[in-house]
Amino acid sequence: MAYLAQTQAGQPVLILKEGTARSRRKEAQRNNITAARVISEAIRSTLGPRGMDKMLIDSLGDITITNDGAAILDEMNVEHPAAKMMKELAKTQDDMVGDGTTTAVVLSGELPRKAEEMLDQNIHPTVIVSGYRKASQKAMEVLDQIGTTVDLEDRDTLKKVAITSMESKGVGTAREHFAEIAIDAIKHTAEKRADEWIADIDNVQIIKKEGRSLLDSELVTGIVLDKEVVHGGMPRRVEKAKIALINAPLEVEKTEFSAEIRIRDPTQMKAFLDQETSILRGIVEKIKKVGANVAVCQKGIDDMAQHFLAKDGILAVDVQGSQT
């Protein structure tokens, strides 16, 4: 942390913490280049068909083994500004494309290495930057020329693209299975806007369940609620479901103010409980009357309401606090 003090003469005085080093000009350039190259070299060996895994140990002692560039950089604790830029580069690549993080970082590490050679030849940094910008524009032109438009119905090409993206992921021999799932998921969620197709990956929810093989993974074209039914007597499977979405609790509503009920006779207590039961029975009857055989409640479901729902063969799920 640095502090800026103002002297009486109006000249600012920069006060740095103990042990801080300050570099300028060529020294600063070398430090930035070195930091960028260190990050690049750290993940270079994970690239390609013979890429090696990295073992990462965090401050809590947790161990992560991966060869994914984005995951490795995410676990790395870096302070140098140039190194942080490389880390942000990988994060942006992963967010925008979902693949190619290692390649992007390795290529970005080569740019300052080549720039260092030109700096040694007394070429001005602005000239180097200008050259890199022209090279970037040329690269985009070449990519546009060699790029091909893939038809959504060309499943073979889409499968090749998906499998290529999974080469660095730990899916083993299940690549083709996951490629098929990925294609179906995107085709179900893609929509045409103006003259282009848009696939919002936020419409694809991934739910992890442990205990089975990768090949048991499946695509559910609907909504998955990772919840159990609220009552053991309810059906576990409902075909041609008619679902009631309820955004209110299936409970007897409490009054907004504190109240005291004095009961001096056991029959009064029974009448009070019978009234609550009658209210809950009426709520369940309304659900049954609209023809619903599945109830998804956003809030709580009373035990008595659960009993009536199970008795009427209605599957009910309480989804408060869950993610879909």
What pLDDT, on a 0 to 100 scale, did the predictor assign at position 190? 86
Q: Tell me, yes or no, whether 34 and 140 share the same domain.
A: yes
Task: For residue 173, name the pLDDT band (cuts at 50, 70, 90).
Answer: confident
- Region of poorest pLDDT, from 114-128, 179-193, 262-276: 262-276
Q: Which of 180-189, 245-254, 261-270 has the highest mean pLDDT?
A: 180-189
Residues 6 or more apart whose CB falls under 8 angstroms from that of 281 comprise 308
105-142, pLDDT tens digit by residue?
888 889 988 988 898 888 898 999 999 999 999 999 99
CATH of the domain at 122: 1.10.560.10
Q: Is 73 helix (H, G, I), strand (E, B) or coil?
A: helix
Among 120, 146, 172, which residue terminates a domain? 146
Crossing angle (nearest 10°) for helices 175-189 and 155-165: 120
| Residue 13 falls inside a structural domain | no
Asked if the model's pLDDT at residue 262 lies above 80, the reply is no
Q: Tell me, yes or no, whether 190 and 133 share the same domain.
A: no
What pLDDT, on a 0 to 100 scale, did the predictor assign at position 136? 93
280-306, pLDDT tens digit by residue?
888 889 998 998 999 998 888 888 889
Top pLDDT among 226 and 256 is at 226
Total count of domains within the chain: 3
What pLDDT, on a 0 to 100 scale, did the predictor assign at position 254? 65
Among 115, 146, 177, which residue terminates a domain? 146
In the chain the first and final C-alpha atoms are separated, in Å, by 43
Q: Tell me, yes or no, whether 91 and 51 share the same domain.
A: yes
Q: In which domain, by residue range, is 299 found?
A: 243-318
With contact defined as beta carbons under 8 Å apart, do 113 and 120 qualify? no
| Residue 6 falls inside a structural domain | no
- Region of poorest pLDDT, from 3-17, 39-53, 270-284: 3-17
Crossing angle (nearest 10°) for helices 81-96 and 25-44: 40
- pTM for the full predicted model: 0.58
Q: Is 299 helix (H, G, I), strand (E, B) or coil?
A: coil
| Residue 222 falls inside a structural domain | no
Q: Tell me, yes or no, whether 169 and 116 share the same domain.
A: no
Q: Is 157 helix (H, G, I), strand (E, B) or coil?
A: helix
CA distance 39 to 76: 9
CATH of the domain at 302: 3.50.7.10
| Residue 323 falls inside a structural domain | no
Q: Work out the average pLDDT over 201-228.
A: 83
Tokens of 144: 């546009």
Tokens of 4: 């800026």
| Residue 5 falls inside a structural domain | no
Among 126, 146, 166, which residue terminates a domain? 146
Q: Tell me, yes or no, whether 190 and 95 share the same domain.
A: no
Q: Tell me, yes or no, whether 31 and 81 share the same domain.
A: yes
Q: Tell me, yes or no, whether 72 and 139 share the same domain.
A: yes
Mean per-residue pLDDT of the chain: 82
Q: Tell me, yes or no, whether 139 and 28 share the same domain.
A: yes
